[in-house]
Amino acid sequence: MLLYPTLLTAAFAATGMAAAAPAHTTGNKGTASLVQVRNPNFEFRHGPLALAKAYQKFGAPIPEDLRAAVARFRRNQKRQTGTVETDAEKHDVEYLTPISIGTPPQDLIVDFDTGSSDLWVFSTEMAAKDIKGQAVYDPNNSSTSEKLQGSTWQITYGDGSSSSGDVYLDTVTIGNLTVPNQAVEAAKKVSDEFTDDPNNDGLLGLGFSSINTVQPTPQNTFFDNVKKNLDTPLFTTDLKHGAPGSYNFGYIDPAAYIGNISWTPVDNSQGFWGFTSPGYAVGTETLRNHSISGIADTGTTLLLLPKSIVKAYYSEVQGAQYDSSQGGYVFPCSPTPPDFVFGVNNGIVTVPGDMVLYAPIDSANQNCFGGIQSDTGIGFSIFGDVALKTSFVVFDAGGLQLGWAAK
Ligand SMILES: C[C@@H](SC(=N)N)c1ccc(Cl)cc1
Ligand SMILES: C[C@@H](SC(=N)N)c1ccc(Cl)cc1
């Protein structure tokens, strides 16, 4: 979310409704007869599976109890994990991550957004005037694309930006993880904020599929589709200040953080990674008890908090004031402002003062726009990139919990 200084408008991410369409399979096409050679690496591990394959190869119906045995085996088969690097744009305004769609693979770079649940991309179905440098998805150039007839999508983001279009099922690969028949939402229209963002070819939602906007049947996110193949149904974020970070799927990298992970339960009732922080502190003072309910949101740039907390923070920053022309608090770029600390269960997360120094608002670099701003009008706080990039964060769908650790 490019909640850039002057765009601190209160609007809402789209909300969608219930269940998603099953990812569907396609049968084997054509036939081939191959001279068999013994596979030296083949290790016979599962009788029922081998038996089932024999039945299948000769077209014999598989007895129900054998099918059940095979299903049990497949469920317990070793799972996968994956990692992909994400790159910070100027001022860490958004983090862009490569994905591949279709056959042969079409490479795009998109914004992984834990605050929404649509995977949508610039496409050949858009008017040329709305494309300015972005890579586009061409479903007609993919042998595995299949139009989801009659389906459409439309989404509006917190900063007022929006996009809409139709839907294809196609193969999507992130790192070494592949989902066949992922719903890929092809844009037909995008708002100017996207057109004027040349490096961003779309968004990949990592929120809960309950707010996917595809109609008439909402679709699953990539993570929802891939998680059954993961060692464990979680992903982690390791966003960095002005440097490449990473998203990992299916595992917690012990080398990626220091100290303990503080766990807190997730409220996904609004489709977000929601949690409640027990309090906050400015600088080195002790934590003040103050419940802060918000979402962990990689798609929002700043840390948006209740007005009272924002005022308490900036009251301790020399020369800080609310500048209506900038749409937020600004303050002299030096000295470095105090740290901001928020609680996570019985742990704490420290946002260093130099991260609160979000960006200079003038070329003379005298005054800076604050990375902490008010959440007025949103209805919840948003722990965006300013909060996330100081931590290693575990988005655990299995335990429905968030884990925050220092790094
Ligand atoms: C590409 C930007 S559109 C804009 N430049 N305002 C964007 C919008 C919404 C999200 Cl969640 C993430 C990024
Ligand atoms: C949930 C995010 S939008 C997103 N990350 N897709 C949001 C909602 C409302 C406002 Cl005002 C600002 C940001």
Q: Which one of 94, 117, 118, 154 would you pick to mutate in the ligand 1 pocket, going by the greatest count of ligand atoms within 8 A of its CB?
A: 94
Could you give the angle at the alpha carbon of 221 between the alpha carbons of 192 and 87, nearest 5°? 55
Q: Does 15 have pLDDT greater than 60?
A: no
pLDDT at 93: 87
The one-letter code for the residue type at 311 is K
* pLDDT of 37: 47
Residue 310 beta carbon below 6 angstroms from any ligand 1 atom: no
Ligand 2 atom with least separation from CA of 298? 5
Strand segments (E) across 73-198: 82-88, 95-101, 106-113, 119-121, 146-156, 162-174, 177-190
Which pLDDT score is estimated for 57? 59
Ligand 2, atom nearest to 3 Cα:
12
Instruction: Answer for the pair 188, 120: CB distance below 8 angstroms, yes or no.
Output: no
Buried b (16+ CB within 10 A) or exposed e, 189-219: ebbebbbebeebbbbbbbbbbbbbbbeebbb
* Dihedral (CA of 135, 141, 146, 150) sign: positive
Using the mean position of ligand 2's atoms as its centre, give its distance from the Cα of residue 300 in Å: 6
Confidence of residue 178 (pLDDT cuts 50, 70, 90): very high
* Predicted confidence (pLDDT) at residue 378 exceeds the cutoff of 80: yes
Query: For 116, what's the count of Cα atoms within 13 Å in the CB-facing half-sphere?
Result: 28
**Which residue has the CA at smallest separation from atom 10 of ligand 1?**
1
Ligand 1 atom closest to 7 (CA): 6
Query: How much distance in Å is there from the Cα of 161 to the middle of ligand 2?
Result: 10
Question: The pTM is what?
Answer: 0.84
Largest CA distance in the chain: 80
N- to C-terminal Cα distance for the chain? 24
ipTM of the complex: 0.90
Q: CA distances (Å), 209 to each of 100, 144, 186, 202, in order?
A: 21, 23, 18, 17
**Any ligand 1 atom below 6 A from CB of 280:** no
Using most ligand atoms within 8 A of CB, pick from 1, 3, 303, 385 the residue to mutate for ligand 2.
Answer: 1
Mean pLDDT lowest among 30-39, 122-131, 302-311, 373-382: 30-39
Question: Which two structure tokens, joined as six digits, stand for 238?
Answer: 């390791």
Q: Angle at Cα 394 formed by Cα 287 and Cα 275, nearest 5°?
A: 50
Find out whether the peptide bond into 335 is cis, omega within 30 degrees of 0: yes
CA 99 to chain centre: 13
The per-residue pLDDT for range 325-345, each reduced to its tens digit, is 999 999 999 999 999 999 999
pLDDT of 19 = 34
Q: Catalytic residue positions? A: 113, 277
| 133-157 pLDDT tens trace | 999 999 999 999 999 999 999 999 9
CB 355 within 8 A of CB 342: no
Provide the 3-class DSSP secondary structure of residue 170. Answer: strand
pLDDT of residue 68: 75
Whether the Cβ atoms of residue 215 and residue 225 lie closer than 8 Å to each other = no
> Ligand 1 mean position to 93 CA, how many Å?
9
Bigger pLDDT: 77 vs 205: 205
What value does the mean pLDDT take over residues 47-74?
67
Nearest residue by C-alpha to atom 10 in ligand 2: 158
Answer yes or no: is pLDDT of 12 > 50: no
State the DSSP code for 194.
Answer: H
95 lines ligand 1 (CB under 6 A): no
DSSP class of residue 222 equals: H
Minimum-distance ligand to the CA of 194?
1
Cβ(201) to ligand 1 under 6 A?
no
DSSP, residue by residue, 324-341: TTTTEEEEES-SPPPPEE
CA distance 378 to 185: 26
DSSP state of 241: T
Q: Does the structure show a pLDDT above 50 at 9?
A: no
Query: What is the chain's mean pLDDT, rounded?
Result: 88
Residue 114 CA, closest ligand 2 atom number: 5
Residue 186 has pLDDT above 90, yes or no: yes
Identify residue 95 by its one-letter amino acid code.
Answer: Y
Percent of the chain residues topping a pLDDT of 90: 77
Handedness of CA 112, 117, 122, 127 (dihedral sign): negative
64, pLDDT greater than 90: no
Q: Enumerate residues 6+ apart whose C-beta is below 8 A from 228.
A: none
Q: Is the pLDDT of residue 43 over 50?
A: no
DSSP calls for 349-363: EEE-HHHHEEEESST
- Given this model, what pLDDT does residue 16 score? 32
What was the pLDDT predicted at 307?
98
Residue 48 above 70 pLDDT?
no
pLDDT of residue 79: 77
Q: How far is CA 120 from CA 98, 357, 364, in A?
A: 13, 32, 38
Give the DSSP per-residue string, 380-407: SEEE-HHHHTTSEEEEETTTTEEEEEE-
Confidence of residue 54 (pLDDT cuts 50, 70, 90): low
Matching residue, tokens 């949103």: 378
Average pLDDT for 287-293: 98
Q: How far apart (Å, rounded) are the C-alpha atoms in residues 224 and 125? A: 27
C-beta of 274 in contact with ligand 2 (< 6 A) = no
Element (H, E) at 60: none
Residue 301, ligand 1, Cβ within 6 A: no
Per-residue pLDDT at 50: 65
Q: Is residue 165 within 8 Å of 125, Cβ to Cβ? A: yes
Residue in the structure block whose two tokens are 């722990």? 383
